[in-house]
Amino acid sequence: QLQLVESGGGLVQPGGSLRLSCAISRYLDFYVISWFRQAPGKEREGVSCIRVNDGTRYYAAFVKGRFTISRDNAKNTVYLQMNNLKPEDTGVYYCAATRARYCAGTVPTGNYWGQGTQVTVSS
């Protein structure tokens, strides 16, 4: 059955960096993979997405210029490189496989979700 496993979260100081990974079984069954996050007491929000076949990317405004999404199709893995992290980036980060065919203008919601990885940005 489909499985998504996130890794790479941790504790980092403001201005620091982390690289999240999402390993996905049945990876090529999906067109678009998304990253979401959820801060304590807040709703889950879309962060970024990537189209598997051609690498088309989209970023939410609050991370644009700081985060980079990428994929390695040979490894069935999607990455989220997070630079210049801010305290407000703190939260649980989830990757998700979607039914969307395109990654443009919005982060498509997930149909299948990973367990999440905790990111804490604090001094």
Query: What pLDDT shows up at residue 93?
Result: 98
For the chain (123 residues), the mean pLDDT of every run of 10, in chain order, is: 93 98 88 96 97 95 96 95 98 96 96 97 96
Structure confidence at residue 26 (pLDDT): 81
In angstroms, the CA 39 to CA 118 distance is 10
Ranges of H-type helices in 33-96: none
User: Could you tell me if 4 and 105 are in contact, meaning their C-beta atoms sit under 8 angstroms apart?
Assistant: no
